[in-house]
Amino acid sequence: MGDVVNLLDHDLDGLSAYCEGLGEKRFRATQLFRWIHQKGAKDFASMTDLAKSLREKLAGRAEIRGLPVLTEQVSSDGTTKWLFDVGGGNAVETVFIPEDDRGTLCVSSQAGCAVGCRFCSTGHQGFSRNLSTGEILAQLWFAEHRLRERLQLPAGERAITNVVMMGMGEPLQNYSALIPALRVMLDDHGYGLSRRRVTVSTSGVVPMMDRLREDCPVALAVSLHAPTDALRDELVPLNRKYPLDELMAACKRYLQAAPRDFITFEYCMLEGVNDTEEHAQALLTLVHGRGEHRVPCKLNLIPFNPFPASGLQRSSRERVLRFAKVLQDAGLVTTIRKTRGDDIDAACGQLAGEVQDRTRVGERMKRLPVPIVPLGVK
Ligand code: SF4
């Protein structure tokens, strides 16, 4: 017998093809899919209305392979962080953020990240490997069913209403694993989340933004963090490959597939680096003023969560408010992200997991000075 197949690696089409290979019809695959994702079944014996013949075929050939949980931490505000073991000395983090009207799960797509953004503790850890579809989905599968149990939700009520691919990793650099995972999130037989409640966050991998638009146009967030190429080159090194003009044009193309949507631009506020009123004006010029590249968008300002290796500081509250006012006065919808789960290091940019760096990105980043780039430099 060959390798044991992890059924979490498949979207519904993939699972149907697998079941067909076992001589089973598609509706059987749908039943199986619902048992796994809607009911959180861990083994075939518990799938009581699934034909016994299929359960017997699956036993020994396939499994529902979750990830070992290393730790579970619950913050005083209810934010929950799990550390999952993905083997080889690597661990990834997943965070649940409860709010009055929603429950958001922040999911990781890679062990580490090769992009190396200056303000991101994942970036400082370097990169080990991509997660599989099954490893991405295992985070949601586990969290949903764990939370239902912990919160004692009535049958049929979901704990997780939104997913953001904003944990460790650049999801668009793990595209082939990402797409089936997104399809399971959207599938009515899976998690049944609407397209607008699943967000992919990217640092700006332009060709993959175009592919995502064609394959699965979910909500898109772009890590912007700087209004000029000179500064963004320093903060988000991927900018050297895909500079702002190309990025803005890709954002605009993206919205052609989802015309009633908008792009969320993430902007991490770094004291003395990107947080002056002049930076805010330059940001307005970028998103509003570059002629044909005007992009329907919202701005999300993120107070930086300092960590020692970054050498960077969080902007003061006054500076953040002043920055936000410039944008709001110009009619740009601007929010300031509330810091959640601070006491368990679960806030944005603090997810570090454990990464066996294969790229030495982390090493190189330790030696970088604080980027001070005059605004006149484009
Ligand atoms: S912000 Fe995102 S893309 Fe940048 S290093 Fe961190 S995880 Fe990677």
* Domain boundary assignment for the chain: 5-63, 69-365
CA 166 to CA 349: how far, in whole Å? 9
**Is 20 among the residues known to form the active site?**
no
Catalytic residue among 19, 106, 297, 348: 348
**Is 93 among the residues known to form the active site?**
yes
Place domain 69-365 in its CATH homologous superfamily.
Answer: Aldolase class I (3.20.20.70)
Q: Are 268 and 225 contacting, i.e. CB atoms less than 8 angstroms apart?
A: yes
Q: Which atom from ligand 1 is nearest to the alpha carbon of 116?
A: 5
Residue type, 7: L
pLDDT value of position 310 = 87
Q: Which atom from ligand 1 is nearest to the alpha carbon of 202?
A: 3
Closest-CA residue, ligand 1 atom 4, reads: 117
Closest-CA residue, ligand 1 atom 5, reads: 123
Kindly report, residue by residue over 170-227, the tens digit of the pLDDT.
999 999 999 999 999 999 999 999 999 999 999 999 999 999 999 999 999 999 999 9
Q: How large is the greatest C-alpha to C-alpha distance in the chain, in angstroms?
A: 71
Hey, what are 214's tokens?
């064609």
Question: Who contacts 357 (Cβ-Cβ below 8 Å, separation ≥6)?
Answer: 112, 125, 126, 127, 128, 363
pTM of the model: 0.93
CA of 376 to the centre of ligand 1 (A): 26
Question: Who contacts 285 (Cβ-Cβ below 8 Å, separation ≥6)?
Answer: 227
Question: Who contacts 228 (Cβ-Cβ below 8 Å, separation ≥6)?
Answer: 244, 282, 286, 373, 375, 377, 378
Q: What is the mean pLDDT of residues 346-358?
A: 70
Hey, what are 258's tokens?
């989802």
Q: Which fold, 5-63?
A: DNA polymerase; domain 1 (1.10.150)
Kindly report, residue by residue over 186-200, the tens digit of the pLDDT.
999 999 999 999 999
Is pLDDT of 378 > 60? no
Hey, what are 190's tokens?
């899976």
CA torsion, ordered 168, 173, 209, 285, to nearest 10 deg: 60
Is pLDDT of 108 > 70? yes
Catalytic residue among 19, 24, 93, 354: 93
CA 350 to CA 340: how far, in whole Å? 11
Task: Find the residues whose C-beta lies inside 6 A of ligand 1.
Answer: 113, 115-117, 120, 122-123, 168-170, 203, 223
Binding residues for [4Fe-4S] cluster: 113, 117, 120
